[in-house]
Amino acid sequence: MATTQPAAVDRPPTIHDIAALCGVAASTVSRALSTPDRVNIRTRQRIEAAAAQLNYIPNSQAKALSSGRTGAVGVLVPDITNPFYFDLIRGTQLQLKAAGYTQLLVDTEESDEVEASTMEQLRKSADGIVVAASRLSDDALLAAAAKMPMVTINRDVPGVPAVLIDTPSATSQALDHLISLGHTRIAYMAGPPTSQSSERRWTALSVAAEERGVEVRRLGPFAPKTQSGAAAADAAVHSGVTACIAFNDLIAIGMLQRLRERGIRVPEDMSIVGCDDIFGADFCNPPLSTMASPIEQAGRVAVSMLLAQLNPLAGGGTRSRSVMPTHLTVRASTGPAPAAAVATPATPATPGLG
Amino acid sequence: MATTQPAAVDRPPTIHDIAALCGVAASTVSRALSTPDRVNIRTRQRIEAAAAQLNYIPNSQAKALSSGRTGAVGVLVPDITNPFYFDLIRGTQLQLKAAGYTQLLVDTEESDEVEASTMEQLRKSADGIVVAASRLSDDALLAAAAKMPMVTINRDVPGVPAVLIDTPSATSQALDHLISLGHTRIAYMAGPPTSQSSERRWTALSVAAEERGVEVRRLGPFAPKTQSGAAAADAAVHSGVTACIAFNDLIAIGMLQRLRERGIRVPEDMSIVGCDDIFGADFCNPPLSTMASPIEQAGRVAVSMLLAQLNPLAGGGTRSRSVMPTHLTVRASTGPAPAAAVATPATPATPGLG
DNA sequence: TCATCAATGACAACCGGTTGCCAAACTTTG
DNA sequence: CAAAGTTTGGCAACCGGTTGTCATTGATGA
């Protein structure tokens, strides 16, 4: 009675339990479950039945250790609480789950060091990673990509597969929109210095502005948080522009709040365009005109590209670059440029009363 | 020359590499790194130096397989895109990282089946789980908690450690607030039928309403999405109430939008109270009065309780229940009850004119 | 009917650590 | 100086699978 039980009462069943139950070797069970063709169909059926009966679930740790593949993919985002990443995360999660992978989500806290150390750790526990809005240098990113399969989102480094969100072209659309409303002095409220997408957007914007003969000045940098919006709003007002294109909706919404506090009307006195169309952009006050893009789809595409890289079985050259379309969604935060505004709003008191 | 290299060029170093470099057995290396006292200090230092030199990083998979502990904790939320969970997730992430654990975040898609199967899978790959707003039955939850360490958030099941957010008492505060503004006919816009916190809130609300002699009716259920707010708003208007307490801010914000569309002013014609104080509650139009609670702290506390359960080393009885305080934040979506409203809006005709 | 070959399934090594057990070496005590 | 006690570190089994190798089996062809 004191001998070992064939199957311990509470311990999850292993292939050895199945093997014992069927009277075959454990390796046969392994093959029956992972390489069905290598095993007699009758044996296989017996094994499958036993597995079902025992409610067998393979141990992913053990599988990872022996096969080298973990069945997990790391997803790195700079800030989980930034609504922009919600849909992205949901997109990656959906696509990964559909492919039977587990998502390891990590908030890198907008820090390149955290990002780098996370990558190093993930190198063992994930088959690949999706990196959104990396804060790493091009070189560091390239080096990391050499060590493990990687797809970046919104970060263009030659040699590293990427999903790019075409905000530069949307930025031109936004500029045209503002020009058509009569604005001629416009500001770009820049994002963090380490954000490549902020740079790309600014480049596109200044080129487009030159082509169209309007003045666009760059203000900032501003942290991508609503709190930074106050400083951004003050800077915009002080610079005398009548319209702003913000790095993202967080900054834009923060500006909306600050302008309201200061009694500056949007869009009558100042027009604001955001970017990303995050949760909240449609119900803030006034609802925000913004550049929208299919973020969830971007997440899904990034995962697809990564998985294609991991399992090169199916034909079709692995795409290494994918650009997501973007469009301008006009709501109520943009309107005609103030008529007399050119000579008054920001600096009038001082010279006017002198 | 063809013999095996002491350390293969590109493969991450293992304890065997360290052992070879120091001329000791692999087990000694293992002990030196995990049980330093079991090893001579000089040997240990040599090993530590070699480990540093090789840039050794332990393989968490292998460690998990042999020790049984994975160093990971699963965090299950019903909907990643619900802003309520952002701060919660950030709280768990911070606390877990501080303790050297990895967070496995899973979106259970508001489905009890996904939740159950996720738990089963996590049983192998995580040391414990934090379950927010579980959709499972009490029995299922209790059974799951017997199989692996678990802490729930916002779910009170005897025998399962939990962090509870004291929204019932905040609900009473909200009720008092509305009463003090002159409201006497109030609606509770209920959440999903499977949400226990919705039930708890309703119970507290109806008891408080009875004590205070006001009428509170229950409407719904409504899915916790802004889209449901439209139906909720219509139901509220039709029922003739002058104030609503919504299950959460998502529904409340949706109501705000719908009421605006229908030309019903908030708070002049209708007062709205939300719950959770999510991202957006402060900048929607009008800014939402809502019940706020320290969500991030709730996440941290949940993780602390779970870790205490996993490592019962340090003294101090493990708390099995923790209640987070909640308070009402009054913004602009609540105001005095409409003066004549008592006799007019929805059902006045029938009794009033009879 | 015998040789050839493909299909099948068992054995054992291996992934990278952890840990129980034991022997050698060293320290302390009588 | 010997006996007893304490460190210290090595051996080997083990966690739960995967996979290379090989013997056995049955079917096919000559």
pLDDT at A284: 96
Element at B30 (helix H, strand E): helix B26-34
Q: Indicate if the pLDDT at residue B288 is higher than 60.
A: yes
Residue with tokens 């050499």: A146
Nearest nucleotide by C1' from B32 CA? D9
Residue with tokens 């001579």: B40
User: Can you tell me the distance from the alpha carbon of B338 to that of B335, in angstroms, rounded to the nearest whole number?
Assistant: 9
pLDDT at A163: 96
Helix, strand and coil content of chain A, in percent to the nearest 5, comes to 45, 15, 40
Mean pLDDT of all residues in B208-214 = 93
**Interface residues of chain A, partner chain B, Cβ below 8 Å:** 12, 57, 59-62, 64-65, 70, 80-81, 83, 86-87, 89-90, 93, 102-107, 120-121, 123-125, 226, 253, 256-257, 279-280, 282-286
- Please report which confidence band the pLDDT of residue B316 belongs to, taking 50, 70 and 90 as the band edges: low
**CA of residue A53 to C1' of nucleotide C9, angstroms:** 22
Residue B16 CB lies within 7 Å of the nucleic strand C:
yes
Q: Indicate if the pLDDT at residue B191 is higher than 90.
A: yes
Mean pLDDT of all residues in B323-352 = 73
Question: Do the chains contact at B80 and A86, CB–CB below 8 Å?
Answer: yes
Question: Do the chains contact at B280 and A285, CB–CB below 8 Å?
Answer: no
Task: Name every chain A residue with its beta carbon within 8 A of the beta carbon of B256.
Answer: 283
Length of chain A: 354
**CA of residue A107 to C1' of nucleotide C12, angstroms:** 43
pLDDT at B351: 41
> Is residue A215 classed as helix, strand or coil in its secondary structure?
strand
Q: At what angle do helices A15-22 and A41-54 cross, to 10 degrees?
A: 120
Question: Please, what are the domains in chain A?
Answer: 15-56 (1.10.260), 63-164+294-324 (3.40.50.2300), 167-293+329-343 (3.40.50.2300)
Residue B344 CB lies within 7 Å of the nucleic strand C:
no
pLDDT in tens, B319-329: 889 999 999 99
Residue A73 CB lies within 7 Å of the nucleic strand D:
no
**CA of residue B231 to C1' of nucleotide D5, angstroms:** 81
Task: Name every chain B residue with its beta carbon within 8 A of the beta carbon of A62.
Answer: 65
pLDDT at A314: 58
Taking the CA of residue B204 and the nearest CA in chain A, the distance in Å comes to 30
Q: Indicate if the pLDDT at residue B350 is higher than 70.
A: no
Taking the CA of residue B351 and the nearest CA in chain A, the distance in Å comes to 38
pLDDT at A239: 96
pLDDT at A10: 64
Task: Name every chain B residue with its beta carbon within 8 A of the beta carbon of A107.
Answer: 90, 93
Kindly identify which residue of chain B lies nearest to residue A96, measuring between CA atoms: B106
Please state, rounded to an integer, the average pLDDT across all residues of chain B. 88
pLDDT in tens, B53-85: 998 988 888 988 888 888 899 999 998 888 899
Share of chain B above pLDDT 90, in %: 62
Residues of chain A with pLDDT below 50 are 1-9, 341-354
Question: Do the chains contact at A93 and B70, CB–CB below 8 Å?
Answer: no
pLDDT at B2: 34
Cα→Cα distances B245→A18, B86, B217, B276, Å: 55, 23, 10, 12
Mean pLDDT of all residues in B222-237 = 96
Q: Indicate if the pLDDT at residue B344 is higher than 50.
A: no
Q: Indicate if the pLDDT at residue B291 is higher than 70.
A: yes
